[in-house]
């Protein structure tokens, strides 16, 4: 769901048993899974599902780097919101700010640098013009 200012996409996520350790605390790597899922759904909301990116535009996005900080633990059965906000758009790079919240409390935050690469070559290519056009409104 994109908020009214059209800059932040949020995805609701429930914490399941498999997301946690024996104490009911979410594994640190699971936050990355939640963020990946939110980025996937954000692209879908923009009209660019994974199949169209590969088959029509001949590109995929790969994570070049990310920096994540953990502030508070998410727990079994928590209802979370995973936010995606584009902050910078380069020729072949998109920088995103992502946060995981429980209510108004930020549990984790990350800066993600994704690179657009050719689906066959896996070498950097320009972000497709139709996606760039939509991202220009957000970034």
Q: Tell me, what CATH number does 53's domain have?
A: 3.10.129.10
Known catalytic residues are 21
Partners of 13 in beta bridges:
80
Q: Classify residue 4: in a domain, yes or no.
A: no
Query: Residue 138: which pLDDT band, with cuts at 50, 70 and 90?
Result: low
How many domains is the chain built from?
1
Token digits for 78?
A: 């928590």
Model confidence band, residue 126 (pLDDT cutoffs 50, 70, 90)? very high
With a cut of 70, say whether residue 4 has pLDDT above it. Answer: no
Find residue 105's DSSP bridge partners: 102
Q: Is 6's pLDDT higher than 70?
A: no
| Strands lying side by side in the sheet with 59-70 | 9-14, 79-89, 93-102, 105-118, 59-70
């Amino acid at each position: 769901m994109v908020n009214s200012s059209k800059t932040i996409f949020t995805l609701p996520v429930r914490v399941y048993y498999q997301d946690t350790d024996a104490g009911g605390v979410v594994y640190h790597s699971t936050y990355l899974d939640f963020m990946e899922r939110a980025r996937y759904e954000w692209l879908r909301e923009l009209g660019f599902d994974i199949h169209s990116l590969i088959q029509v535009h001949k590109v995929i996005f790969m994570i070049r780097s990310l920096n994540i900080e953990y502030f508070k633990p998410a727990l079994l059965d928590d209802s979370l919101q995973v936010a995606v906000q584009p902050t910078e758009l380069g020729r072949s790079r998109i920088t995103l700010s992502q946060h995981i919240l429980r209510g108004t409390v930020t549990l984790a935050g990350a800066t993600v640098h994704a690179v657009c690469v050719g689906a066959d070559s896996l070498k950097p290519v320009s972000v497709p013009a139709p996606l760039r056009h939509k991202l220009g409104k957000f970034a």
